[in-house]
Amino acid sequence: MADRSATLYRMVLPDHECPFGHRAKEMLEDAGYDVDEHILSSREEVDAYKEQEGVDTTPQVFIDGERIGGASDLEDYLAEQSA
């Protein structure tokens, strides 16, 4: 199997780790992806990322340079890939 890698942007604040970001990371690892993880560690970083990328939520997952979306989008994508 070819090397599979994904890029994950997710929020981990000092007092809160986004459960959807955590779930997305686990789903990627379980599916055999090497995860290039980018932690957004302050509310300012999260807001700036969302504005820069034109998205409303984190996490955001990219596979082969293609935006997959958030955790539920990733779940749908992985289900499609294994069908």
Confidence of residue 83 (pLDDT cuts 50, 70, 90): confident
Please tell me the pTM assigned to this model.
0.92
pLDDT, tens digit (0-9, with 9 covering 90-100), for 12-58: 999 999 999 999 999 999 999 999 999 999 999 999 999 999 999 99
Hey, what domains does the chain have and what are their CATH numbers?
A: 5-78 (3.40.30.10)
Q: Rounded to the nearest 5 degrees, what angle is found at the Cα of 11, between the Cα atoms of 63 and 18? A: 100
Q: Rounded to the nearest 5 degrees, what angle is found at the Cα of 40, between the Cα atoms of 16 and 19? A: 40
Residue 3 confidence (pLDDT): 75
**Coil, strand, or helix at residue 40?**
strand
